[in-house]
Amino acid sequence: TDMIHSYTLYLSHGGEETEQIDSALARAYLNLGDYDNAKRFVTQLLAQRPDDMALLQQVIPLALDSDHAEDAAEFLK
């Protein structure tokens, strides 16, 4: 959560959003079980790396558990 707070402050003050930051935030939110916040970063990462199986294996079950079945289906595509 400290890392999320630091990156969020960095980004909100004009910091450059990079793939590494997106990846760190996506994984942090996924590890916390926070699908709603993870979705933005996961979607951006999958647009660049659609075959990231590790990310898909983590986000699909969380989307289902969070009552976002339509999102899970999109990730499966």
d(CA 17, CA 22): 7
Q: H or E segment at 17?
A: none
Q: In sequence order, what are the residues at sequence separation of 6 or more whose Cβ sits closer than 8 angstroms to the Cβ of residue 62?
A: 30, 33, 35, 38
Tell me what pLDDT residue 30 has.
96
- pLDDT computed for residue 43 by the predictor: 95
- In this predicted structure, what is the pLDDT of residue 77? 85
State residue 16's pLDDT score. 94
Which parts of the chain register pLDDT below 70? none
pLDDT of residue 28: 96
> How much is the pTM?
0.88
pLDDT at 38: 96
